Amino acid sequence: MTVLEQVAGRIRTIKPNPICDDCLAAEIQLSVRQHANHKTRELAENPGFRREQSHCSRCGSLKKCIRATN
């Protein structure tokens, strides 16, 4: 399974809750948070995902988060 597939899968499992890159990286055990950031920005360009300023459903911080929309 690719990192992009892992990221997309995790986001879909917590739908409709938003998640920040830091929490996403921790949950799927990525060693580098920037890797999660790169993949969430890539996913946000596709239908079914939205990346926006929001409160993360995990840590509660207000920052860029991604969520599945369908």
Q: Give the domain range for residue 18.
A: 3-68
pLDDT tens, position by position, 28-60: 999 888 899 999 999 999 999 999 999 999 999
Strands of the 19-20 sheet, one edge to the other: 19-20, 62-68, 49-55
How many domains does the structure of the chain reveal? 1
* Domain of residue 39, CATH code: 1.10.10
Are 51 and 38 in contact by the 8 Å Cβ rule? The answer is no
Give, in order, the Cα–Cα distances in Å from 69 to each of 12, 15, 23, 25, 29: 9, 7, 19, 20, 24
pTM above 0.85, yes or no: yes
What angle separates helix 3-13 from helix 33-44, to the nearest 10 degrees? Answer: 70
pLDDT, residue 64, reads: 97
Least Cα distance to 25 among 12, 13, 35 occurs for 35
